[in-house]
Amino acid sequence: MRIDVALLPESGIKGDVSDTVCIVLDIFRATSSMITAISNGSRSIIPVSSIEDAYRAAEQLADPLLAGERQSIRIEGFHFGNSPFEFSADKVRDKTIVMTTTNGTIAIKTAEHAFLTLLGSFINARAVCQAAKRQKRDILLICAGTDGMFSLEDSLCAGLLVDIINTDGSYALTDAALGVHVLYKGAGAALGEIAGKGRNGKRLADLGLQKEIDYCLRADSVTAVPVYREGKITACTL
């Protein structure tokens, strides 16, 4: 078995992934927010690529909630943006959410042909690694990136997941997996500070959202593991 990392979605899904477990990472903030919503009782999340697709999907559902952002700003007319703090239990319990984000929902959809697609972040790191390892298959970590470019916080999280998954040394690591692991280990206690210096971290900080940065980097604060299959995200029960 091996662990590989796609530093951008389009760079990783090139071959057959039908026997591979994929973990999609969009730390600031799509997967962190989706994990939070599922943890707080959302029935399901429908990820779509565009605003138009979001409205079309919502028309097919009874009483859906619309969530999404463009360049970190909530889409006008939507119930939620992309802040994990918006997806509180009193608002999302038993609700279906249609969601579109700049990078995260697109990355999720690139993995729809995988054996299993899970959503990961710092906040559910250990739980998502345990769910992936139980499958006893190759694992591909997919970093959503930002506007088609490398994302520091996604790669740091990928490095943490490599560290957790391969504690016993039973997986072979590709160069990309080795690289993000070195990045994560090198960050050490300064991981939060380093992640905050990346483009997304700076953008959120400039918007006065430092508390969201801190939340998204808080390792193992929830145990929910969302799974994406047949076009929707639900709680993993594997």
High-pLDDT (> 70) share of the chain, %: 98
| Average confidence (pLDDT) over 15-32 | 93
Asked whether residue 151 is assigned to any structural domain, the reply reads yes
Asked whether residue 20 is assigned to any structural domain, the reply reads yes
CATH number for the domain spanning 201: value is: 3.90.1560.10
* pLDDT tier for residue 12 given thresholds of 50, 70 and 90: low
Asked whether residue 80 is assigned to any structural domain, the reply reads yes
Pairing of strands 96-100, 65-70: parallel
Asked whether residue 189 is assigned to any structural domain, the reply reads yes
Asked whether residue 25 is assigned to any structural domain, the reply reads yes
- Paired strand residues for 117: 22, 228
Asked whether residue 235 is assigned to any structural domain, the reply reads no
Mean per-residue pLDDT over the chain, rounded: 94
Residue 184 has pLDDT above 80, yes or no: yes
Helix axes 152-165, 199-206, angle to 10 degrees: 120
CA within 13 Å, CB half, 110: 23
The set of long-range contacts for 149-152, using a CB threshold of 8 Å and a minimum separation of 24, is: 149/8, 149/199, 150/7, 150/8, 151/27, 151/28, 151/103, 151/198, 151/199, 151/200, 152/194, 152/195, 152/197, 152/198, 152/199, 152/200, 152/201
pLDDT of residue 72: 83
pLDDT of residue 238: 66
* pLDDT tier for residue 16 given thresholds of 50, 70 and 90: confident
Asked whether residue 238 is assigned to any structural domain, the reply reads no
Per the structure, the complete domain to which residue 56 belongs is given by 2-230
pLDDT of residue 147: 85
Q: What is the pLDDT of residues 51-107, one digit of tens each?
A: 999 999 999 999 999 999 998 889 999 999 999 999 999 999 999 999 999 889 989
Q: How many domains does the chain have?
A: 1
